Amino acid sequence: MDMKQLAVILMMMGVFVMPWIGTEGKVLAEQSKIKNENQVLNIAHRGASGYAPENTMAAFDKAFNMKADMFEIDVQMSKDGELVVIHDTTVDRTTDGTGKVGDLTYDELQQLDAGSFFGEEFAGEKIPTLGEVLDEYKGKIGILIEMKSPSLYPGIEEKIAEELKKRNLDKPNNDKIIVQSFEHNSVQAFHSILPDVPVGVLLSYSGDGISNEQMIEFSSYAEYVNPNMAMIDTELVERIHEYGMQTHPWTVRDQESADYLLEVGADGIITDYPDYVDPRK
């Protein structure tokens, strides 16, 4: 039994456990390398998708140039097993093609224009692979990897882990990689493969909030609880911190929302517009 599992058991027994002991202490020390004290992580959603076509190299370049701390990407799998970066489970909305991502081969996906939907100046942008993104940006900017609809792609957790291991991004000192998903079983599966890579649970809006039982479960394997921003207030941020985790709410698309999340103490802000977030506040 590791220290984090012991801490969870103690919390279930009603014993308060300081969140920085054991594994949590290591996690918080590692997080400090990308999140300085009193600094909110500025996380560009699908790249700087307010200014360039989402999930393309153009959007990631924009996020880097705008000095975001990290950018978020969505990873799925082609018919022939290539890890590709695209949000929707079909290509219809963001490319000039049609069909499900998982029904198209990598070569077929590469023929698509993933930029023109946003603006003519981005015509010809391609759907990148996870490997291409990691090779271009590792060491330059943090990367938040969302496993998108992983239940559609059996084995995607292992494939993502292999891409990280190939590039020495599976080590605890390389903490600019975080992996997350709405499918929490998938997050747990990934965590069991690469336990040193921080993971987060994504949550859609729920008027019921997050129960203590959920917090205990999440804290047994995750470092981050990332809910819809409409759920966030100071009390929830404090509860997440009490369980030894941090929070990166999503998705900010206006200045007022960014200011609110800064005020209530969010650890990071996932936004289409990195310039709405001053990470030094």
| Tokens matching residue 164 | 């990280």
Q: Are strands 268-271 and 199-203 parallel, antiparallel or unpaired?
A: unpaired
Per-residue burial over 101-116, b = 16 or more CB atoms within 10 Å of its CB, e = otherwise: beebebeebbebbbbb
Which one of 45, 184, 191, 248 is the catalytic residue?
45
| Cα-Cα-Cα-Cα dihedral sign, residues 256, 260, 263, 265 | negative
For residue 129, the one-letter residue type is T
Which one of 87, 184, 191, 248 is the catalytic residue?
87
Q: Is 45 assigned a catalytic role?
A: yes
Measured CA angle at 201 (ends 200, 205), to 5 deg: 140
Q: Is 87 assigned a catalytic role?
A: yes
Of 84, 122, 144, nearest to 271 by C-alpha is: 144
Which amino acids are annotated catalytic? 45, 87
